[in-house]
């Protein structure tokens, strides 16, 4: 763990105050899948975040998962995924074990996602995986604020807070 880092704490200002400065946003595989599958709200969210100067990030792990899921469930989205991946920062997957703080919070298959967001010094992680990440929505883990697509849209000022 980084000195002075906290495993997970509530970030009360994350939902109420728009992030006006450009932030680094790590995209989970389900966000890449949704943005690739259809030209709906998630694709719009990514486009608007880019237009506002935010940096979209991922790694080989989430890209491969999105590709696998699209290939079996919505192969017509593979070309859209390739276009999205060409526009974002994609880092190599690092198989090193996740920090103890992360291991305590998530199932094994989801640990690499949050670990990559931390490693890539992202300010936010956006994921639609409410089952595994839902308890972390609105919290900061080792400096990364965990958001649903909607709460990210609120945090970067695309929609007013609910």
pTM flag (> 0.85): yes
Does residue 40 sit in helix, strand or coil? coil
pLDDT for 162 equals: 81
Question: Which residue has tokens 């400065």?
Answer: 21
pLDDT for 20 equals: 67
Pick 17 or 160 by higher pLDDT.
Answer: 160
pLDDT tens, 11-37?
A: 443 444 466 689 999 999 999 999 999
């Amino acid at each position: 763990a980084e000195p002075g880092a906290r495993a997970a704490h509530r970030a009360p200002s994350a939902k109420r105050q728009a992030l006006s400065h450009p932030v680094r946003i790590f995209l989970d595989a389900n966000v890449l899948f949704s943005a690739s599958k259809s030209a709906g709200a998630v694709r719009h969210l990514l486009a608007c975040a880019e237009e506002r100067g935010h940096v979209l990030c991922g790694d080989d792990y989430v890209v491969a998962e999105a590709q696998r899921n699209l290939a079996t469930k919505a192969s017509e989205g593979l070309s859209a995924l390739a276009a999205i991946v060409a526009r974002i920062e994609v880092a190599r997957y690092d198989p090193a074990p996740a920090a103890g703080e992360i291991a305590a919070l998530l199932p094994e298959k989801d640990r690499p996602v949050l670990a990559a967001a931390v490693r890539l010094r992202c300010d936010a992680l956006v994921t639609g995986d409410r089952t595994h990440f839902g308890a972390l929505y609105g919290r900061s883990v080792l400096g990364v604020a965990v958001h649903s697509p909607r709460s990210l849209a609120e945090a970067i000022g695309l929609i007013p807070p609910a």
